[in-house]
Amino acid sequence: MTMRVRFAPSPTGALHIGGARTALYNWLLARHAGGSLVLRVEDTDRERSTPENVAQIVDALGWLELGWDEGPFSQAERRPRHREEIDRLLGEGHAYLDEGAVRLRVPDAGETVVEDVIRGEVSFPHEAIDDFVIARSDGSPLYNLAVAVDDRDMGITHVVRGADHLSNTPRQILILRALGAEPPVYAHLPLLHGPDGKKLSKRHGAASVQELREAGYLPEAVRNYIALLGWGYDESTEFFTTPELVERFSLERVSKSPAVFDEKKLRWMNGHYLRQLDAGDLQQRLERRLDRPVPEAAVRIAQEKMQTLDDFWSLAAFLVEPQPDDPAAWDKVMTAGAPERLRRAREALASAEPFDADAVEQALRRVVDDLGVKPRDVYQPVRVAISGRTVSPGIFESVAVLGRDETLARIDRALERAEISTSAEPDMG
């Protein structure tokens, strides 16, 4: 029997990183087994489900490059089908009316056992399960009923979802059995928690896929990172290409304990992916994102220090157009001796030939030697003069990319300012 899995988000909000991970695991399983992934939108809560949220989820999956084979199906649209089964359950005595609502008859004794791939056998005593409602008094079907009917109708072989559904599973099995169907294989993934240990919610930083995208993360990095939230392959491998993930992922190795989303590690991993991109590709992604052309040379030298796409602008905007000074950077670097060192740097750069990173480096090192100062005493004023900040791509590369004319012009402007501020504060050194 070929594997059929499903991703069944409820469109009551944006797709969270936890949902994204569930989608990824299902996708990996389907790809690995040559089976199918069904996208089913569980929108039977008409109060909270919105078309905008559905669109957002579809969009997020698209960005993550997690395609599906069938769907998206709307659970709400399958209501007539659910109704049929509810009537059948009623007719066969498996369910009964209670103040208009329909309740499933749950045996008083015994237990229902969930065979979970990740957690083993989990038993639920029937005494702890009430005759639960499967249809509202207006006739509309409820979650557990809809899920059970849909999973069976759609031929789902493996239900892979968050552990928050484990307690609902015996109810779904009870419905399935009353319908005369065999339950699928279940696998309940460990939940994702926020840094405070609580269930992940909007309050926990960049928790939605949209926010991750806006923050400048790469879909391939996000996939790699979330794959590792609840799963590990061996004792040291951290990076997996998507084909490797398809090949190596297995439910048996999924862990049981909840994980916490750590954006710091995602940043690190994203930086690694960013550095592997070829400059042209990165340039295209940046231009699409910033909606403006950016020079390839600037992309090339910024690449080695970026961790997110968003970092590009703060790191290299000065290469695209003049940037205002960061006052703190100015104060820190433009001390009493700075103007003299800047003047010497200007002089050396004026005659550097050709104006490339090597020549710039030689020129500036000569200034350092001649003055007998520390390298940073020369480099930092130059850096602040051209970029306005204490952080930038490599200084020699930055100067070379900026070009001689622009570099000299910016140093001149800095010199003017430095002289004004130095004479205004004669005591400063």
Pairing of β 95-98 and β 101-104? antiparallel
319-358 positions binding RNA, by CB under 7 A:
none
Name, in order, each residue with C-beta under 8 angstroms of 301's C-beta and a sequence gap of 6 or more: 316, 319, 393, 394, 397, 398, 401
**130 scored as a contact of RNA (CB under 7 A):** yes
Query: What's the CA gap between 247 and 234, in Å, rounded?
Result: 14
Candidates 196-204, 338-346, 347-355, 410-418; binding stretch for RNA (CB under 7 A): 196-204
What's the angle, vertex CA 412, arms to CA 409 and CA 413, rounded to 5? 90
Nearest alpha carbon to residue 333 among 394, 380, 395: 380
Distance in Å, CB of 218 to RNA, minimum: 15
Q: If residue 70 lies in a helix (H) or strand (E), which one and from where to where?
A: strand 70-74
Query: What's the CA gap between 300 and 321, in Å, rounded?
Result: 17
Distance in Å, CB of 173 to RNA, minimum: 13
208-227 positions binding RNA, by CB under 7 A:
none
**250 scored as a contact of RNA (CB under 7 A):** no
Q: Which of 24, 66, 89, 166 binds RNA (CB under 7 A)?
A: 166
Candidates 59-67, 82-90, 372-380, 418-426; binding stretch for RNA (CB under 7 A): 372-380
Contact between 185 and 121 (Cβ < 8 Å)? no
Cα–Cα distances in Å, from 385 out to 93, 143, 334, 349, 352?
83, 63, 9, 13, 18
Query: What's the CA gap between 7 and 69, in Å, rounded?
Result: 11
Nearest alpha carbon to residue 271 among 232, 311, 234, 233: 311
Candidates 58-66, 151-159, 340-348, 393-401; binding stretch for RNA (CB under 7 A): 393-401
270-289 positions binding RNA, by CB under 7 A:
271-272, 275
37-96 positions binding RNA, by CB under 7 A:
42-45, 47-48, 75
**Which x/- pattern over 395-424 shows residues binding RNA (rule: CB under 7 A)?**
xx----------------------------
Active site residue 305: no
Nearest to RNA of 47, 427 (CB atom): 47
Of residues 198, 202, 256, 265, which has the active-site annotation?
202
**142 scored as a contact of RNA (CB under 7 A):** yes
Nearest to RNA of 236, 423 (CB atom): 236
**115 scored as a contact of RNA (CB under 7 A):** no
Active site amino acids = 202
